[in-house]
A and B are shown apart, each in its own frame.
Chain A
């Protein structure tokens, strides 16, 4: 069975500082991985996805993520955060039957 783990429940970062959110997965085959963002009171929006090929993928809003098979990780990064990046972030894995399994989420707070 697949699983997704986000070790950090809550991260606080200063505006302009870099951000890294961790995601670890367990899956027996080639994973299809995603990062979604949820602003307060909203649904989830896709930031980026990894299917195959280049292990560094670029997404919207200046985010990128790196797939590391040896570490079973798919960490999300942003070089310089903006106040509008305050949100909850979810890592997800797609199984062979096309269902998405989500991690528990990481809440990001941005301080001025």
Chain B
């Protein structure tokens, strides 16, 4: 039982390049989330998916797109990376539509944009 798995764990991009962060969960979670973590700012919600087939913007969605491919997978895409997107990205899942509020996090993906 791997929980929430993110790939890649580390990535270096040049400005303007694109990439996709992958997230998969084997906990049968209905809701999935993408956060970014920056020093002194805590975690900020980029996008979330309350259930399979739905996605919604969070606090900082600009420059990102997401796909809820199926119940297990929720990917985050950067179409044209910018240095401001240098961050640590966390995927999380939550059971029962997120009603409990408890999130289960992956180990993070550290992205550097040069």
Q: Which residues of A are at the interface with B, using a C-beta cutoff of 8 A?
A: 4, 6, 9, 32, 34, 41-46, 49, 90, 92, 94, 98-105
Contacts and interface: CB of A to CB of B under 8 A. Distances in A.
B43 A34 contact: no
B78 interface: no
A99 B102 CA distance: 10
Task: Give the secondary structure class of A's interface.
Answer: strand
Interface in B37-96: 40-45, 48, 50, 58-59, 90, 92, 94
The interface centre, meaning the residue of B31, B33, B100, B106 with most chain A CB atoms within 10 A of its CB, is B100
B1 interface: no
A90 B101 contact: no
Contacts of B94: 98
Given A98-B31, A98-B101, A43 B90 contact: yes
A44 B90 contact: yes
